[in-house]
């Protein structure tokens, strides 16, 4: 049978002089210094192990969310494009000119304001209603990112306008 000491490893620890002095004042048979250190080290090691596991899982989570985000953005852009294209079939000439202005502003301010701000500003200047031009009815379409959906919607409208305007 192996001696209990053989199963254990020895380490040396450094402590402050103040802590050493305080330890000397309370040290007796009830304070098992080895067990106290083991308990503290056990807790510290468990915390570190958990942190490392979370960090590993975190990188996997970030990668998975990047993929999901890209998929959601692609779906938003495609849905916006299709909705813009199908909704634009009912547009008037004035509606198309409004979108032409919005598309020009969006291109000019590509790195500036967000599409939604550009659209709202342009429609306000033209005294037009946002919902009238962007939704078929009172129900807002499903999207994850309104900005990307609106970009797709404008592209869909402009795609149809590009085909129609050359024939006018």
Q: Say which residue the tokens 């304001």 belong to.
A: 113
Contacts 24+ apart (CB under 8 A), 31-36: none
CA distance 110 to 114: 8
In percent, the amount of the chain with pLDDT more than 70 equals 86
pLDDT above 90 (res 60):
no
What pLDDT, on a 0 to 100 scale, did the predictor assign at position 138?
A: 59
What pLDDT, on a 0 to 100 scale, did the predictor assign at position 125?
A: 73
Element (H, E) at 75: helix 33-88
What residues does each domain of the chain span?
72-165
pLDDT above 80 (res 137):
no
Whole-model pTM: value is: 0.63
Cβ atoms 153, 86 nearer than 8 A:
no
For 26-52, the pLDDT digits (tens) are 877 678 888 888 899 999 999 999 988
Cβ atoms 62, 123 nearer than 8 A:
no
pLDDT above 90 (res 106):
no
What pLDDT, on a 0 to 100 scale, did the predictor assign at position 160?
A: 95
E strand intervals along 10-94: none
Half-sphere exposure of 3 (CA within 13 A, CB side): 3
Estimate the crossing angle of helix 115-125 against helix 146-165, to 10 degrees: 60
E strand intervals along 17-118: none
CA distance 84 to 134: 7
Phi and psi at residue 2, to the nearest 5°: -75, 145
Where residue 111 falls among pLDDT bands split at 50, 70, 90? low
DSSP-assigned letter for residue 135: -
Q: Which residue has the higher pLDDT, 131 or 97?
A: 97
Q: Say which residue the tokens 């939604």 belong to.
A: 116
What pLDDT, on a 0 to 100 scale, did the predictor assign at position 26?
A: 82
What pLDDT, on a 0 to 100 scale, did the predictor assign at position 16?
A: 92
What pLDDT, on a 0 to 100 scale, did the predictor assign at position 109?
A: 74
> Who's near 13: CB < 8 A, 6+ residues apart?
37
Where residue 76 falls among pLDDT bands split at 50, 70, 90? very high
């Amino acid at each position: 049978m192996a001696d209990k000491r053989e199963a254990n490893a020895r380490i040396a620890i450094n402590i402050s002089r103040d802590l050493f002095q305080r330890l000397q004042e309370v040290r007796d048979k009830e304070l098992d210094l080895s067990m106290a250190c083991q308990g503290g080290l056990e807790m510290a090691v468990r915390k570190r192990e958990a942190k490392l596991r979370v960090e590993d899982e975190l990188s996997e989570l970030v990668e998975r969310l990047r993929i999901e985000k890209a998929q959601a953005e692609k779906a938003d852009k495609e849905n916006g494009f299709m909705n813009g294209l199908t909704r634009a079939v009912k547009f008037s000439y004035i509606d198309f000119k409004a979108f032409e202005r919005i598309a020009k502003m969006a291109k000019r301010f590509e790195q500036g304001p967000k599409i939604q701000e550009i659209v709202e500003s342009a429609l306000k200047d033209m005294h037009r209603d946002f919902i009238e031009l962007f939704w078929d009815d009172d129900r807002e379409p499903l999207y994850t990112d309104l900005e990307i959906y609106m970009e797709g919607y404008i592209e869909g409208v402009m795609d149809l306008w590009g085909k129609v305007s050359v024939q006018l």
